[in-house]
Amino acid sequence: MDDAALLRAYDEQLRTDAETPSAVSVERLGPLRLVTFRGRRGFVTYRDLGGVDAEEVRRLVAEGLARLTADPDITRIEWKTRGHDHAPGLHEALVAHGFVAGETESVMVGPLAGLAVDVPLPDGVTLRRVTAEADVRAMSAMQDEAFGEPVSEREADALLHRLSLDDGMELWVAETEGTIVSAGRLEPVAGSDFVGIWGGATLPAWRGRGIYRALTAARARSALAGGWTLAHSDSTEYSRPILERAGLRKVSTTTPYEWRR
């Protein structure tokens, strides 16, 4: 598949309800999907904006924000944008309504098999899949630390809720002497060819030692055993080169815009 075919598969198979499997609710507003998640979090996404002009974009942003914030329990909202969308004036409209642009990431798509390679681990580091509450909370806290965020019990609660749904999500960690140093999620997308490689985080002192590659390979082998063939990931500049070496290709970019009450 060339880059255009991979991007079509991404738009057609992933920009649907498959993008928000753990949603508490989903409301439609024209082309928008207004989503609420556990943990007092809102989310806005869409397949495309249907060729709208800048005036209509401003209206969609204003009304979408108003509908989500009408729920007093929602304290933060992410509006997910993609670099290849036709969305005139979207950045300006989001900023005008209090959204702040986050780090732009690469949308990586490609064959899953290229990720399933043998990677030597540093001495004393082991990989395993976790499901126990204590492990999930330790994993979530490590990810918050790796990303420079305050430790959030809400994020751990959301992961535990996902596990309770038994929807195929897998959590994997790398640890040494009982301490988790790297972690990530695997999210098979039902009815598609894709699995998502998400949440990859490694503590700074352990980066550059092959741990993320090994953790990704473990997730890829698990997904291949389940019959999936393609992988997708929104990747930081830490993980993008690793995925490129494994055959995934950058087909677009994605930038989250965050609003907080």
Q: Does domain 3-107 have CATH number 3.90.1570?
A: no
Query: Two tokens at 258?
Result: 């965050």
Examine the pLDDT at 45 and tell me if it is beyond 90: yes
| Amino acid identity for residue 244 in this structure | E
| Predicted local distance difference test score (pLDDT) of residue 242 | 85
Q: Is 125 within 8 Å of 211 (Cβ atoms)?
A: yes
Q: How confident is the model at residue 16 (pLDDT cuts 50, 70, 90)?
A: confident
Chain segment 116-129, per-residue pLDDT in tens: 999 999 999 999 99
Q: What is the DSSP string of 90-138?
A: HHHHHHHTT-EE---EEEEEEEGGGG----PPPTTEEEEEE-SHHHHHH
Burial of 118 (0-12, 13-18, 19+ CB in 10 A): exposed
Q: How confident is the model at residue 57 (pLDDT cuts 50, 70, 90)?
A: very high
| Predicted local distance difference test score (pLDDT) of residue 209 | 94
Chain segment 235-255, per-residue pLDDT in tens: 888 889 988 988 999 999 999
Mean pLDDT of the chain: 93
Region 181-193: what's the mean pLDDT?
92
Residues of the chain with CATH 3.40.630.30: 110-252
Helix (H) or strand (E) holding 48: none
Q: Strands 76-82 and 41-46, how do they pair?
A: parallel
| Predicted local distance difference test score (pLDDT) of residue 1 | 80
Give the residue among 54, 38, 1, 15 at the shortest CA–CA distance from 254: 15
**Domain 110-252 CATH (choose: 3.40.50.920, 3.40.630.30, 3.20.20.140, 3.20.20.100):** 3.40.630.30
**Under DSSP, is residue 194 helix (H, G, I), strand (E, B) or coil?**
strand
| Predicted local distance difference test score (pLDDT) of residue 69 | 96
Chain segment 29-38, per-residue pLDDT in tens: 999 999 999 8
